Amino acid sequence: MAKRDYYEVLGVEKTATKDEIKKAYRKQAIQFHPDKNEGNKAAEEKFKAATEAYEVLSDEKKRSSYDQFGFAGVDGAAGGGHDYSTVYRDFEDIFGDMGGIFESFFGGGSTRGGRRTGGGNSVQRGADLRFNLDVTFKEAVFGTKKDISYSHKVHCSQCGGTGAESGSQKQTCPTCGGAGQVRRSSGFFSIASPCSTCGGDGSVIENPCRACAGKGLDKKKQKIKITIPAGIESGRRISIPGQGDAGPNGGPKGDLFVYFDVQPHSHFERDGADIYCALPISISQAALGGEVFIENLEEKKIKVKIPSGTQNNKILRLKNEGAPVLNNPGKRGDLYIKIIVQVPARMSSKAKELLKEFAAVNGEETNPELISLSDLSRG
C-alpha cells in the first residue's frame, strides 16, 4: 500500500510551523493511541502513521530532505527501520499539559508536581495543608502570636510509617518485581502502567499493622503557636515548614499554609499601610479651626489640628500614624482623616440668634449661584 504524504497524515499545510505540527500530532496521538483503542488495528495503524510523520516533520533536517526528495530523502529515517527514540523524548513535552496523560500512557520515569517516579517503596513528601485564620483589625496591623489547632497525618507510632506489623517487613511485589509498573506490548512499542497488585508502590504488605490498617499514617490533632507579622492583610499567607501531613513510606512532612482574613474595625479602614477614618466636628470648629484629640489604633490620644475654614469632606493627613509596612520594620503608613462638618439638628434660641447675627455680619448670600460638581471635587 502506498504511503500517504506526511503533511496529509497530520492534516497540516506544508508551511506549517513546528508548533502547529506538534499540536496536530498530539491531537491524533490522543485519539488513536493503542491504549485507548485496544484491539483496534485501524487506530493502531493511524497512530503509527502519525508518529512516523511527526518524527520526520519535527526534525528540520529530515523535513528539508523530505520536502526536496520525498520518501526517498528520508529512507532509513522512516519506515521499517524507523527509530522512535526522538519521538519518545518529545512525548512528555507534547503531553505534559494534559494532566498526566504522558505518565498514564507510557508510565514514564519523570515526574511533575513532586509525584513519584516509579516503584520500589518510594518515599513521598506529605501533602501541604491550609488553615484559614480570622484576625482582628488591630492584630493584623500590629502583629501578634496566636495558638491554632488543626488535624494532620503523622507516621504511625506502632509501625513507624511502614504499614507493616512490628517484626515484619514489606515484600517485593510478585507481579511487577518491585518496579511498580507492568508493561504490555502494543504494536511496535510497549506500554507501562501502574501495577494493579501493589498500586505502583513496588511492594506489598503481607502482615499489615493493626494500629493503622497498613496505611502507615494516623490522624492527629495538634496545637501550635504562630507569629502573625505586623501589617498582614486579608488573603495573604504565611508558610510553616514541616507542619503539614507526613508522607507515605516514612516520607517527609508537607508544609502548613495559614491564610488570613482580617475582620473589619468599627472606626478604621485600611488600604495597604494607610489607615482611614472620619472625624465629625462642629460648625464653629470648622470655621474657627483649633485642635481636637482622637484615639488612634494603639489607644493613644493624638492631636489633630483643624485649619480655620475647613470644609466638609476635607482630608487631613497624619504622617507615620498608619499601619506598619509588611516585612519593612520601622516603616509605617499614614493616617487619613476625613472631616465631617456636622450641622446641629436642634438649637437653642440663643444659638439661633447668634447664627442669624453671624449671617448678617458675614453678608451671607440668599440667592447663591450654582457651581459644577467638577469644581466642587477640585475643592
Flag whether pLDDT at 269 surpasses 90: yes
Per-residue pLDDT band for 93 (boundaries 50, 70, 90) equals low
CA–CA separation, 275 and 223 (whole Å)? 33
Grid cell for residue 79: 519506515
Which pLDDT tens digit goes with each residue over 316-364? Answer: 999 999 999 988 878 999 999 999 999 888 989 998 898 888 888 887 7
pLDDT at 248: 84
* pLDDT for the residue 355: 86
In single-letter form, the type of residue at position 352 comes to K
Q: What share of the chain is helix, strand, coil (3-state, %, to 5)?
A: 25, 25, 45
Instruction: Place 223 in a pLDDT band, splitting at 50, 70 and 90.
Output: very high
pLDDT of residue 39: 76
Between the CA of residue 107 and those of 35, 124, 202, 240, what are the distances in Å? 12, 17, 14, 34
Look at residue 233 in the predicted model and tell me its pLDDT: 92
| Contact residues for 11 (Cβ-Cβ < 8 A; gap 6+) | 24, 28
**CB 94, CB 18: distance < 8 Å:** no
For the ranges 46-50, 78-82, 247-251, the lowest mean pLDDT is seen at: 78-82
Top mean-pLDDT range of 160-169, 349-358, 364-373: 349-358
Query: Which residue in 272, 306, 276 sits closest to 289, CA to CA?
Result: 306
Beta bridge partners of residue 155, listed in sequence order: 217
Percent of the chain with pLDDT over 90: 41
The Cβ of residue 35 has, within 10 Å, a number of other Cβ atoms equal to 14
**pLDDT category of residue 379 using cuts at 50, 70 and 90:** low
Q: Is the pLDDT of residue 266 over 50?
A: yes
Strands (E), the chain: 129-135, 144-155, 171-172, 181-186, 189-194, 203-204, 217-228, 237-240, 256-262, 269-271, 274-282, 290-295, 301-306, 315-318, 335-342
Q: CB neighbours (10 Å) of residue 168?
A: 14
Residues forming a β-bridge with 153: 219
C-beta separation of 320 from 334 below 8 A: yes
Domains and CATH numbers, the chain: 6-106 (1.10.287.110), 269-350 (2.60.260.20)
Residue 132 has pLDDT above 60, yes or no: yes
Lowest mean pLDDT among 22-31, 85-94, 167-176, 344-353: 85-94
pLDDT, averaged across the chain: 82
C-alpha cell belonging to residue 100: 498526566
